[in-house]
Structure 1
């Protein structure tokens, strides 16, 4: 498996795209030449639903002319770059052999454009889908592959399923994956949400999420991870997850994201906000450690 030659799919698509005159025809063309080739990977025959799902995650809009984006990704050998990063990580992490599907990103999505560096990824236990912009740097592509493949490895090794995953696990999983980016690619490749808030904000942010940390179902976690609704600050869950992992690694310098890949989220939390130097309170109570140095 590894990187799927979606460049061949896209080559056929950009040739046929000008022949589709109206929006409905363009949606049908994308479904025929792109979405239908993914139905086995997603175990579904409901192409309309799959198309809407992928569009919501970052797939290029069928009404957009992607020829220039496609050719730019080809000229930069992005498929090769993704394959190289994946192969190295798979060997190092002894991870699963999963297919990786690469497509141009939806450039009109404001979150992707303004906060995610024109890139987006979605991970499952058995596959990864990447959405990349023509101007996305090689370093950012490597960071994206690292982040998403770390998810795959953790999901596989802990036998995690989206329906039974807790909010705490979702947060820790995001934090671990981004710490892996720091280890494998470099700190300058970290996502902007890792430094969105001051460490002094941890207590108030955690207070918003503490009672929900055992909530199960990945689809229920998004308001807490991304924030922006219900009084939850943007990227609150992502930021907290990163800080939980970061503090655990500071408390125990022998820890790496590889060694923590099989560690339960609750165990990581206990190693993070611990009674270090006697200035912390139990996380099972209403407060969190005030030692965030």
Structure 2
């Protein structure tokens, strides 16, 4: 598989995202549901800016460059052969958007990337590394994604951004990795996270804790996950590739030991 030429889809259906997604071979209802879900992760809403952004992404050869990243990391990680769909990003939206205007979402069998014409193409690589790491890890673990817990989600996010740091450099990690001090992270771990690791993805508290919604600090779970992975890497002198297939519980063994 690899990067799908969604640039051609956008030529015909940029103003009708549901029809655009039907090019995947899904029904109108499925496309509407998928579009609604993808919007929550930063996919564009049609506007006067959309065609301009699509043109700019074409000029910057975004599809070709992302496909080069796909080939590079698939070979490096022995990753899965999956389709990668590229669409414009929604301005000022998306979990990973902090002025860089990029976002994405991964499934076990496909990836969606939402891009702007960001001048620094290393930002595109960082986004790809994060999302393809998720996809590769999902395919390595002998676990149904529907059974993932908060523990799994913390480590998924921590490992993916740790990989960005290793392969793209500290400058390209997301802002939430540096949002809280180690002292505060330990406090937040004890207060909010350590007794909720069993929560499944279908429990509303899972996303509240992972994303830091409501009364919880912003991006709480993401930051905790990155902290746990960083401690593990430092102690064991292990690389992102070596950590990719490890069970999530390995990363909290030290935390449990300190409590005993």
Report Cα offsets for 1:173-204 as digits up to 9, x if no partner: 10000011111111111110000001110222
Q: Which runs of 5+ in 2 are unaligned?
A: none
1:189-240 deviations in Å (ceiling 9; x for gaps): 11100000011102221021111111122664221111031x2110110000
Name which of 32, 37, 55 aligns with 2:23: 37
Secondary structure of 1:122's match?
Answer: strand
Checking the alignment, whether the CA contact within 8 Å between 2:89 and 2:114 is kept in structure 1 is: yes
Equivalent of 2:168 in 161, 180, 185: 185
Counterpart of 1:222? 207
Aligned residues of 1:101 and 1:130 also touching (Cα < 8 A): yes
Give the deviation of 1:46 after TM superposition: 2.5
- Measured against aligned partners, the alpha-carbon deviations of 1:40-84 in whole angstroms (never above 9, x if no partner) come to 4xx985332222112222111024441110111111111111111
1:4 is matched with which residue?
4
Select the structure of larger CA radius of gyration: 1
Deviation for aligned residue 1:116: 6.1
1:77 and 2:77 matched: no
Cα 1:267–1:242 shift into 2, 3 Å: same
* Match of residue 291 from structure 1: none
Contact persistence 1:182–1:190 (CA under 8 A): yes
Distance in 1 between residues matched to 2:63 and 2:13, nearest whole Å: 17
Check if 1:202 corresponds to 2:188: no
Map 1:104-119 → 2, pairs under 5 A: 104-109=88-93, 113=97, 115=98, 117-119=100-102
| Residues 196 and 239 in structure 1, CA contact (< 8 A), matched pair in contact too | yes
Distance 1:111 1:244, change over 3 A: closer
Matched residue, 1:162: 145
Preserved CA contact (<8 Å) 1:58 1:131: yes
Tell me by how many angstroms 1:10 deviates: 1.1
1:93 Cα offset (Å):
0.5
How far, CA to CA, are the matches of 1:116 and 1:38 in structure 2? Answer: 30
Kept in 1, the 8 Å contact 2:158–2:228? The answer is yes
Q: Supply the distance in 2 between the matched residues of 1:100 and 1:234 (Cα, whole angstroms).
A: 29
Q: How many correspondences in the alignment?
A: 258
TM-score by length of 2: 0.92
Alignment of 1:244 onto 2:237: no
Unaligned runs of 5+ in 1: 18-28, 283-293
| Aligned ranges 1:33-112 → 2 under 5 Å | 34-40=20-26, 45-109=29-93
Counterpart in 2 of 1:290? none
| Residues 244 and 218 of structure 1: CA distance in aligned 2, closer, same or farther (over 3 Å) | farther
Note if contact 1:248-1:273 (Cα within 8 Å) is conserved in structure 2: no
